[in-house]
Amino acid sequence: MTDLQEKLLAWFAACSRDLPWRRAYLPYHIWISEVMLQQTQMARAVEYFNRWCDTLPDIASVSAADEQTVFKLWEGLGYYSRARNILKTAQILVRDFEGRLPDAYRALRQLPGIGDYTAGAIMSLAFNQDYPAVDANVERVLARLFDIDTPVKERKTRLLIHRSATELIPTGQARNLNQALMELGALVCRPKETDCRQCPLNSSCRSLAAGTTDMRPVPAPPTQRLRIEMATGILCHRGKLFIQKRLKNGVWADLWEFPGGRVEPGETPAEAVRREYAEETELEVTDIKQLTTVRHSYLHYRVTLHCHACRLAQATAGPAVLHAAQEYRWVKVAELKNYAFPAGHRKLIELLLQTNGFAAIIAETG
């Protein structure tokens, strides 16, 4: 074992955080935690992981769960395709693998939602087999350690980092070595405010020696997020709110929402609400009043969501005829917590609950 490896492993043994999935390194726990940690900060992932495992303690329980239970546990993490893939994979594991994650890289890669990184993390952390697990933290550590001067998202750079991570693993130490790199990136070799004096690898760090640490890793060219104006209407009738379940394909598939959509050019948000209700449900709404505006950012776009209250134009209107959803329900405000909504709509619900907005809607329109 090299001096660098020894220093890194010793630092991890002394400084690693107590995380729930590290206590037994169960394959199920490693899998769920790694999927949750994609695009999610650690403290939030721990909260969701504990709640998830309290409800779904093993693969068999996930396989038997209905989709809405899984979505509700996932609500707030976003990227619901990850939750959908967990459910699909659990069902495959119960059917074909006796309810266990396989300890073979190729078999893992065939499962829905398990890519190169997640497969490597499961193989190394759960089964302690000599596979690298290169996440953003590891990319940053290795780009600085070896002073890599090409953008980390370029294919040749990714291959270089992957090879470097593989070569760093001492035989039989993949679990600790990979986690040490991840932990170092999270706690010491941070994107900003790096603490090079506390780094166990500072004597070997090429970017520190060259004075280029702040320039590593080299980022990819920035991409501008698309800005989208949307409008939604909260329709109240006889004290209940109208919600609909999105189609099984497309963005936010199978989640619940208040009807709405993009504000078209030359259209006001209130006009968009009236049009969207007509197009999506064949319901005519009136008394459309602005309630609030919610802004929410996604990976590739930023949404400004204009929220309105409205009521049926005719008190005896017939049932909704759905064109952009699979089912609808009239629910009480207290029942909204039982349904999984996209992040923007959930943010809207929380805001209206905090400001007694729903009570005002019901008083005016219900």
Q: Among all residues, which ones are annotated catalytic?
A: 34
Average pLDDT value for residue range 149-167: 96
CA proximity to 231, closest of 169, 195, 275, 170:
275
Quote the pTM value.
0.84
Output the six-digit token pair for 311. Answer: 């009521």
Q: Give the containing element (helix H, strand E) for 248.
A: none
Sign of CA dihedral 349, 350, 352, 353: positive
Output the six-digit token pair for 53. Answer: 């495992």
Q: Give the containing element (helix H, strand E) for 142.
A: helix 136-145
Cis peptide before 217 (omega within 30 of 0): yes
340 vs 69: CA distance, rounded Å = 9
Residue partners of 359: CB distance under 8 A and separation at least 6: none
- Residue 64 confidence (pLDDT) above 90: yes
- Identify any residues that bridge with 305 across adjacent strands, giving them in sequence order: 230, 294
- Residue 250 confidence (pLDDT) above 90: no
pLDDT for 65-112, tens place per residue? 999 999 999 998 988 899 999 999 999 999 999 999 999 999 999 999
**Fold designation for 3-215:** Endonuclease III; domain 1 (1.10.340)
SS3 content of the chain, % helix, strand, coil (to 5): 50, 15, 35
Average pLDDT value for residue range 120-136: 98
Is the Cβ–Cβ distance between 277 and 283 less than 8 Å? yes
Quote the mean pLDDT of the chain.
94
pLDDT on residue 268 = 96
Domains 3-215 and 226-365 share a fold: no
pLDDT on residue 360 = 78
Output the six-digit token pair for 109. Answer: 């890669």
Check residue 338 and report its DSSP letter. G
Q: Tell me: domain 226-365, CATH 1.20.1630.10, correct? A: no
Instruction: Classify each residue of 267-295 as buried b or exposed e, where b means 16 or more C-beta atoms within 10 Å of its C-beta.
Output: eebbebbbbbbeebbebebeebeebeebe
87 vs 35: CA distance, rounded Å = 12
- Residue 299 confidence (pLDDT) above 80: no
Q: Which residue has the higher pLDDT, 244 or 251?
A: 244
Burial (CB count <10 Å: 0-12, 13-18, 19+), residue 334: exposed
Looking at this protein, which amino acid is placed at residue 42? M
Distances (CA, A) of 203 to 141, 155, 207, 208: 14, 29, 11, 8
pLDDT on residue 366 = 60
Looking at this protein, which amino acid is placed at residue 253? A
With cut-offs at 50, 70 and 90, classify the pLDDT of residue 163. very high
pLDDT for 177-236, tens place per residue? 999 999 999 999 999 989 999 999 999 999 999 999 999 999 988 878 899 999 999 999
Q: Per mean pLDDT, which range of 138-147, 188-197, 205-214, 243-252 is the poorest?
A: 243-252
Total count of residues recorded for the chain = 366
Phi-psi region of 56 (alpha: psi -120 to 50; beta: other; left: phi over 0): beta
Q: Per mean pLDDT, which range of 43-47, 88-92, 216-220, 316-320 is the poorest?
A: 316-320
* Domain boundaries along the sequence of the chain: 3-215, 226-365
Largest CA distance in the chain: 79
